[in-house]
Amino acid sequence: MTDSPPAATSAPRSLAIVGGGPAGLMAAQEALSTGVAVTLYESRPSVGRKFLIAGRGGLNLTHSEPFDRFRHRYREAESRLRPYLEAFDASAVVRWCEGLGIDTFVGTSGRVFPTDFKAAPLLRAWLHELRAAGLQIRVRHRFTGFAGDRGPRFDTPEGPVTVTPGAVILACGGASWPHLGSDGAWVGPLGEAGIPVSPLRPANCGFEVAWSEHFAQRHAGHPVKSVTASASEQDGRVTQATGELMITATGIEGGLVYQLSAPLREAIERDGQAELTLDLTPGRSVEHLTGALNRPRGKKSLARHLEAAAGLGGVKAGLLREVLTANQMEDASLLASTIKALPLSLHATRPIDEAISTAGGVAFSGLDEHLMLKDLPGVFCAGEMLDWEAPTGGYLLTACFATGVAAARGAVEWLSRQPKDAAV
């Protein structure tokens, strides 16, 4: 099939947004508020699918910690994201949500949620407001690249379509949970257009551990609660977090693991493996544990002694047996030091399909300060398709919203400087 002629008029103040996730929808809201005509193109039959899935976990919208801590969650991308996050920070996220009639609250961890923990009512209210403001939504329009010096090209049920808006914002997401629509297929066309893209990799992901068959069968699906985990960064600093992880048949996953997934993944990329160190009893010192484990155990089995002296049974005792031999388990001081620093060797990340989010993406070196592609003037990028990552905790959605706002402001400003009938 050949391309159809341009389907949209090249109105001077028209903006095409590709991708109906939180970044694209926020960009639409910002642009509509300035009077620009916005059409949003989405490959799936409906918008906001990943946003709705995020609601299953309670929809952690943002985080209430001080901005100076908040911004550092974005690691190497902090300095590039900072102006966008300053312009649309956690309090702006809360105001936006409450402006849609959905109250928020701060949980004990400082995370911010809608009071009903649901994404569907929020998305419904948002779409209602966007449509009322004039947003046109074209679903089943899959962006496949740029048609020469014309605008973006889409595959649609009616065949290929090329549109010629005044400006374009790409907000196609990363490559995790691809059945929800963000499959990273945009990397191909952008790469062909010469746009620098860092390889897409799993972030907030699980890792593979070579468990013994016995351990995997017995403990897969069991949580390991209240442990402190540490991982070394490339510069030698140690990143630490406390919480809960989950044993899986192939390794580990869960909130605690996700918090450390960036240094762990980087170590695997660099060295072929990463070490995660677990403190199984965060409140107890190694001396205290050694003393307790050295107490005479009488006729008690080692398992019962470990339970009585250190409070460790079940999956935690199983973890110790994964790294110590039966003889080593009898050595109280070795046992105590292993309880405080149990080394887990991780040899691979789980596939990106299973990850919560994506690292890598459109490199900031290819973008100007308004998130416009230097090599494709009039085309802006926002959201998870940019080259940044952050742990879970509301940081992902906040940066998607903030870059959506920034790209829209850039696009609106760019449109205002174009001659009347210019198109991308």
Ligand X SMILES: Cc1cc2nc3c(=O)[nH]c(=O)nc-3n(C[C@H](O)[C@H](O)[C@H](O)COP(=O)(O)OP(=O)(O)OC[C@H]3O[C@@H](n4cnc5c(N)ncnc54)[C@H](O)[C@@H]3O)c2cc1C
Q: Tell me how many helices (H) and strands (E) the chain has.
A: 16, 20
Residue count at the site for ligand X (CB under 6 A)?
A: 39
Interacting positions 160-199 with ligand X (CB under 6 A):
171-173, 176-177, 181-182, 185-186
> Which parts of 136-203 are beta strand (E)?
136-138, 142-146, 152-156, 159-162, 167-170, 197-203
What 3-state DSSP class applies to 285?
coil
Told to check if 135 binds ligand X by CB under 6 A, we report no
- Min dist CB 51 to ligand X, Å, is 5
Instruction: Answer yes or no whether residue 50 interacts with ligand X by CB under 6 A.
Output: yes
Question: What gap in Å lies between CA 127 and CA 146, rounded to an integer?
Answer: 28
CB of 386 to ligand X, least distance (A): 8
Site for ligand X, residues 218 to 277, rule: CB under 6 A: none
DSSP secondary structure letter of residue 209: -
Residues 6+ apart with CB under 8 A from 374: 366, 367, 368
Q: Give the C-alpha separation, 70 to 54, whole Å.
A: 20
- Binding to ligand X by residue 414, rule CB under 6 A? no
Choices 39-47, 222-230, 302-310, 413-421; region in contact with ligand X by CB under 6 A: 39-47
Contact 167, 411 (CB under 8 A): yes
The site string for ligand X over 342-361 (x = CB under 6 A, - otherwise) reads --------------xx----
Out of 13, 142, 219, 340, name the contact with ligand X by CB under 6 A: 142
Bridge partners (DSSP) of residue 362 are 197, 386
Piece of the chain touching ligand X by CB under 6 A; list 37-45, 207-215, 307-315, 369-377: 37-45
Is residue 401 part of the contact set for ligand X (CB under 6 A)? no
- The DSSP element (H or E) to which 360 belongs, if any, is strand 357-362
Q: Which stretch binds ligand X (CB under 6 A): 5-13, 47-55, 82-90, 300-308?
A: 47-55
Q: Give least dist CB 44 to ligand X, A.
A: 4
Region from 15-23, 195-203, 247-255, 256-264 binding ligand X, contact rule CB under 6 A: 15-23
